[in-house]
Amino acid sequence: MRLIDVTVPLDAQLPTYPHNTPFTLEPIKRIARGDSSNVSTLHMSAHSGTHVDAPRHFFDRGAGTETLPLEMLLGRTRVIALDTRKGITDADLTPFDLSEDVRVLIKTSNSRLWGSPTFQTGYIGIAESGAKYLVEHGVKLVGVDYLSVEEFRAPGAPAHHILLGAGVIVIEGLNLRDVDPGVYDMYCLPLRIVGCDGAPARVVLRRS
Ligand SMILES: [Zn+2]
């Protein structure tokens, strides 16, 4: 069984979206300091590293991460690769037959940005027309390979509003560098954080 871990490590190299809380481990107890055990406190944004967005991220009355259905977070998933250098539009997605797919992960050059602890503002997001295309073609879960589905500082955040508004689950912060396009079984398990706008997730693909 070949498993591909597409989760980015939570460590000091992890870039942080501007004005979000960076990931850090705070030592609370340390054996080396005479304590009986090692205990750390996590400091991080709910949108650190590989994570899911809940509707509440952009809608005050929207559902929190704990309501995202497991049936949608696990299962047959298509990975497509795009070589676009700009926001992903409907024209970029048209060549792909997504008629059998409710889960789509989009691999771009973003996957090569991981490893730099500096947030890269030139990452590729999904443009408004691309988000509409995915909704209109029945996609229920979409994953991207940098820290936001949105083009950087896109006015009005159309991708988030269109996708989350349609009940589409958004996974952000995937590393798809080692993943070839094709069909996989996906295991995406976000932490069961009640009422939260986002939740860190471990995401693994298995070739189906
Ligand atoms: Zn997010």
pLDDT tens by residue, the chain, 208 residues? 699 999 999 999 999 999 999 999 999 999 999 999 999 999 999 999 999 999 999 999 999 999 999 999 999 999 999 999 999 999 999 999 999 999 999 999 999 999 999 999 999 999 999 999 999 999 999 999 999 999 999 999 999 999 999 999 999 999 999 999 999 999 999 999 999 999 999 999 999 7
How far away, in angstroms, is 170 Cα from ligand 1 center? 8
How far away, in angstroms, is 29 Cα from ligand 1 center? 31
How far away, in angstroms, is 26 Cα from ligand 1 center? 23
The residue whose two tokens read 């229920």 is 140
What amino acid occupies position 142?
A: V
How far away, in angstroms, is 36 Cα from ligand 1 center? 37
| Radius of gyration in angstroms for the set of CA atoms belonging to the chain, rounded to a whole number | 17
Q: Is there a catalytic annotation at residue 161?
A: no
Annotated catalytic residue, options 19, 57, 160, 161? 57
Q: What is the pTM of this model?
A: 0.97
The residue whose two tokens read 């209109």 is 136
CB 7 within 8 A of CB 202: yes
The encoded tokens of residue 170 equal: 């958004």
The encoded tokens of residue 139 equal: 């996609």
Q: Which residues pair with 202 in a beta bridge?
A: 189
